Structure 1
Amino acid sequence: MTTTSNTLTNLREVGGPGLQHGRRRTVYRANTDPVAPAAYPAGLAAVVDLRRVDETDAVPHPLAATPAYRSVPLFDPASAIESAAEAVHLEDQYTDWLDRHRSGIAAALRTIATADGDVLVCCAAGKDRTGIVSALLARHWGADLDAVGADYAASAAGLVERFAAERAASTDPVATAIGHRCVPEIMTTVVERVERRWGSVDGYLRSIGLRDEEIAVL
C-alpha cells in the first residue's frame, strides 16, 4: 500500500531565498514523491513535470489530475540516448544535455513563460533536469554564480533519504556515487561553459529557439 505525506523534501524557490522577491510570480523547484497535494504551494498556475513518460506512468505526479499539470519531458524522445557515453561526470552530462535536449529545455521554459501565475518545475529528484532549468532561470534573472551553485547544492540536504535508498539498491556503486554528487562547482562550471560558448544564458536561450519576447516574459 502506497502512503502519502505532507512533506516534499526538495521543494524550494528557484535561485534561493530572495532572488524572486518582487517578481510577478514565483517559480518553485521540487522532487516528485507520492505526497499529498497539500505538500505543494497553493494556487499553482503550472506544474512543469520534466520526467520521461515511463517515469510519469510509474509514479504519477500528485497534481497530475489538476488543470495546472503539464508533462514536458526534458529528455528529447527523438534522441536515442540521454547523454553521450563519454559524458561520465555530471558537469559533462549537463553540458551534453544543453545540446542534445534543447527542444525539451525550450519547451519547459516556454511553458514557464506562458504561465499566468506561480509555477512548479520538477523531475524525479529535483536535482538534475530541474537543476538545469533552474540554473538557466536564476542566471537569466541576474543571480551570481555563487548563488546559482548554492541553489544547486541545496538539493543535497533534501535528498539524503532518497540517495541512501538508491545506494542500498545499487549494483554499480561508482556510477551511483557520481550521479549523487551535489556540490556548487557542478552547476557553476556548466553556467560558465554556457557563457563562454553562447556569450550569456540569454544567448543560449536564443540558440534553442526562444524569441526575445518569450525571454522577456520569463
Structure 2
Amino acid sequence: MTTTSTLTNLREVGGAGFQRGRTRTVLRANTEALPASVYPASLATVVDLRRDDEIAAVEHPLRSLPGYRRVPLFDPSVSEAAADAISLEDQYTDWLWRHRATIAEVFRAIAAAAPGDVLVCCSAGKDRTGVVSMLLARLWGADLDRIGADYAETGPRLADRFAREREESQDLERTTTMQRCVPETAVHVVRHVESEFGSVTDYLRAIGLTDDEIDGL
C-alpha cells in the first residue's frame, strides 16, 4: 500500500522546462493506487506500458479517460529479456530489439495521441518508461547529460518505495541491481542506439514506424 498522497515520480520527459514551446507535453510517471486528482487535468492520453497482471493488481487511476491506452512494452510472445542480460544496461539494450514490435506500438500510440498532454507510465516509471523517455528526449534534441539526469531523478523520487522493496526482497542482490538508477545507464542506451542504428529516428524506422508517424512524435 502506498504511504504517500502524491505521485512522486510524475514529471516532464526530459526534465522540467525541456518541452517548453511544444504543442503538448509528454509526462512520465509511476503507477500507484491514488485518486485521479493527483494527475494534471491537461492529460488527454495515457499510454500504460504495464503487463496485464500488473494492471489487474493496480488499476490505473485514469483508466476511464477516453484516451487511456493499454500498450504493454513487453511482447508477451517472447521472454522479457535474454538470460545473460543481467545488468540494466544489457537488459535495456536487449529490449530494444527483442520487444521491437511492441515498442513500435508504444511510439505509435504517442504519435497518434489526441490533442492535449500525454502520460507514459509503467509500475515504477523507471525502466520501461525510462527507455521510452530517453528515446523521446533524444529524438527531441536532448543532450546526453540531460537524458542521464532525467533517468537518474527516479532514484530519489522512489527512495521510500525502493526501501520497502529491499525490506521485502527474497533476492536482495537482484533487487539492488534493478533499483540502480544512475545517469550512465541512460547514456549507454542512447549511445548503443546511435552506434547500432545511426539515430533514434533511424531506430524507429528500423522497428517499423513510418516517417509520418515519426513526425507525429
> Which stretches of structure 1, 4 residues or longer, exceed 6 Å deviation after superposition?
none
Amino acid at match of 1:55: E
Alignment check: 8 A CA contact 2:2 2:32 kept? no
Alignment check: 8 A CA contact 1:6 1:38 kept? no
Kindly state the Cα deviation for residue 6 of structure 1 after the two structures are TM-superposed: 3.9
* Unaligned ranges ≥5, structure 2: none
CA distance in 1, matches of 2:150, 2:67: 25
CA distance in 2, matches of 1:63, 1:187: 28
The answer to whether structure 1 residue 88 and structure 2 residue 86 are counterparts is yes
Normalising by structure 1, report the TM-score.
0.96
Question: Counterparts in 2 of 1:16-95, with a 5 A limit?
Answer: 16-79=15-78, 81-95=79-93
Percent of aligned pairs with the same amino acid? 62
Alignment check: 8 A CA contact 1:83 1:97 kept? yes
Amino acid at match of 2:149: A
Q: How many corresponding residue pairs?
A: 216
Normalising by structure 2, report the TM-score.
0.97
Kindly state the Cα deviation for residue 68 of structure 1 after the two structures are TM-superposed: 2.0
Amino acid at match of 1:72: V
Match of 2:99 among 98, 101, 107: 101
Amino acid at match of 1:34: A
Amino acid at match of 1:168: E
Alignment check: 8 A CA contact 1:8 1:30 kept? yes
CA distance in 2, matches of 1:3, 1:98: 31
CA distance in 1, matches of 2:41, 2:128: 23
Alignment check: 8 A CA contact 2:45 2:65 kept? no
Correspondence for 1:163? 162
Kindly state the Cα deviation for residue 18 of structure 1 after the two structures are TM-superposed: 1.8
Question: Counterparts in 2 of 1:5-24, with a 5 A limit?
Answer: 6-24=5-23
Alignment check: 8 A CA contact 1:28 1:120 kept? yes
* Unaligned ranges ≥5, structure 1: none
